[in-house]
Amino acid sequence: MARALVTGASSGLGAAIARALARQGHDLVLAELDPATLGPLLAHPDLTGRRVVPVTLDLRVQLSLDACFAAACAALGGIDLLVNNAGRPLSVPATEVTWEDWDAVTAVNLKGAFFLSAHLARHCIARGAPGAIVNIASTHGLVGIAGRSVYGISKGGMVQMTRMLAIEWAAQGIRVNAVAPGTVLTPSRQTMLADPARRQTMLDRIPLGRFPVEEEIADAVCYLAGAGAGAVTGQILAVDGGVTAA
């Protein structure tokens, strides 16, 4: 795989994934709601020497999604790998979730990812070429947790979407897998974990006794996207320090 489309690429996991793919020789289309936010990533030395194209993407809008994929293919001559990383969080008790909350979260985390995946599949099938999709799910899609119902439901849907599409497109050589991160030590999480007591409470739930870091999620994506995982499809790789195994 040499040409990748990464959604939600401006910071956090998306930026780490883009950097890791670039180091492995991928040319990149980086999709963001506001491409101006991609500036720091575009200037990163890991991207030096690679073709890197920023594009606008609003996963809630079909025309934006269609235009994004068309622009990606035009810019790089095709796409071999899709990383569905863009996501919308929500921490609200289930009894307080609004109709609008539900639509906002599921439109990005599930509906948009599904239809972008279908674009890649049609593109690969039309060319008679293999392809790969790596979805960024979450441990919230594998286990229950209070206060994150809609987010967890959307990620649980992504987990099952991964399996369903893997089976449907296997004969066409399109592999579909997912990475399910636990609590990852991103810059934004550093603020959330500034309280020592809260940090320790969360660490006590992790068998390995530490939080995964962005680079470990990116490495998992690279593995699933690469030739070494050529016989791997329909799998959910939890990178969570052992939380879901306990």
Closest CA to 181 of 137, 134, 235: 137
What does pTM read for this prediction? 0.95
**pLDDT range class, residue 194, cuts 50, 70, 90:** confident
H/E element, 31: strand 27-32
pLDDT in tens, 135-161: 999 999 999 999 999 999 999 999 999
Rg (CA), the chain: 17
Q: Name the active-site residue from 69, 151, 169, 211.
A: 151
Domain spans of the chain, in order of start:
3-184+213-239
> Using an 8 Å Cβ cutoff, are 151 and 93 in contact?
no
**Which residue type is seen at 5?**
L
Q: Above pLDDT 90, what percent of the chain? A: 91
**Token digits of residue 167:** 């089976």
- Average pLDDT rounded to a whole number, residues 111-139: 98
Closest CA to 88 of 65, 67, 111: 111
Q: Which residue reads 């052992």 in tokens?
A: 242
CB neighbours of 92 closer than 8 A, spacing ≥ 6? 101, 147, 149, 150
Start-to-end C-alpha separation, the chain: 35
Q: What pLDDT, on a 0 to 100 scale, did the predictor assign at position 190?
A: 72
pLDDT in tens, 228-246: 999 999 999 999 999 999 8
**pLDDT range class, residue 215, cuts 50, 70, 90:** very high
Q: Above pLDDT 70, what percent of the chain? A: 99
Is residue 29 scored above 80 in pLDDT?
yes
pLDDT in tens, 38-59: 999 999 999 999 999 999 999 9
151 is catalytic: yes
- Average pLDDT rounded to a whole number, residues 102-128: 98
Q: What pLDDT, on a 0 to 100 scale, did the predictor assign at position 191?
A: 74
DSSP 211: -
Gap between the Cα atoms of 78 and 124, Å rounded: 9
Gap between the Cα atoms of 18 and 120, Å rounded: 18
Gap between the Cα atoms of 18 and 7, Å rounded: 9
**Alpha-carbon distances, residue 107 vs 62, 112, 155 (angstroms):** 10, 6, 12
Q: What pLDDT, on a 0 to 100 scale, did the predictor assign at position 1?
A: 57
Other beta carbons less than 10 A from residue 44's beta carbon: 13
> Using an 8 Å Cβ cutoff, are 173 and 81 in contact?
no
Main-chain phi, psi angles of 31, to 5 degrees: -105, 130
138-142: which pairs have CB atoms within 8 A and are 24 or more residues apart? 138/87, 138/180, 138/181, 139/180, 139/181, 139/182, 139/238, 139/240, 139/243, 139/244, 141/180, 142/180, 142/236, 142/238, 142/244
What is the third-level CATH fold of 3-184+213-239?
Answer: Rossmann fold (3.40.50)
